[in-house]
Copies of this chain bind each other. A is one copy, B any other.
Amino acid sequence: MITVLRIGHRLGRDSRITTHCGLVSRAFGASKIILSGDYDKKIVDSLCGVREQWGGDFEVEYDKQFMKIIKNFKKDGGIVVHLTMYGMNLPDKIGDIRKDGKDKDVLVIVGSQKVPGEVYQLSDYNVAVGNTPHSEISALAIFLDRFFEGRQIEKKMKKGKISIIPQEKGKKTVEE
């Protein structure tokens, strides 16, 4: 089971980026996102709205005390992966993480503003998806895609109100 922890959210500035982190978490097989930083009701509502419309069991929580979450997660035997462009490159680490993740819960941390040094120290893995700037959204997507070896894209979620019938051209949705 994978939980994503989004830390350092800033109201306004990060609003769409954090929402996209939540959507990626749900679409790519994480079970839950915990939002930290500024409390932003709109994001919680928007992610819960997507679950209601599009299905699945994805959970959304808010918790200001992200250091406590990380420490408790480790105390309970989970492993902590911090996505950072300064870390070790993903292809060198994903095998170990996948092996650890077989019988342990995994907490994936995605930062926004400057991440405290303690997060680097507490994390079992500091992992970069290429050591060059891009986006926490893409880092999270690639991490989950590699972790689940692509299976999450084809997995069926518990049905919501709408689903898509894939088309070569155009759009087709079915409402239940």
Contact = CB atoms under 8 A, between A and B. Distances in A.
Interface of A: 13, 16-17, 20, 23-24, 26-28, 50, 54-56, 84-91, 117, 120-121, 123, 126, 128-135, 137-138, 140-142, 145, 150, 152-154, 157, 163-164, 166-173
A35 B160 CA distance: 35
Contact of A166 (B89, B117, B123, B145): B89
Nearest to A137: B137
17 contacts: A20-B138, A23-B134, A26-B134, A27-B133, A28-B134, A50-B133, A54-B133, A55-B132, A88-B166, A120-B170, A123-B169, A128-B166, A131-B163, A131-B164, A137-B138, A141-B142, A142-B145
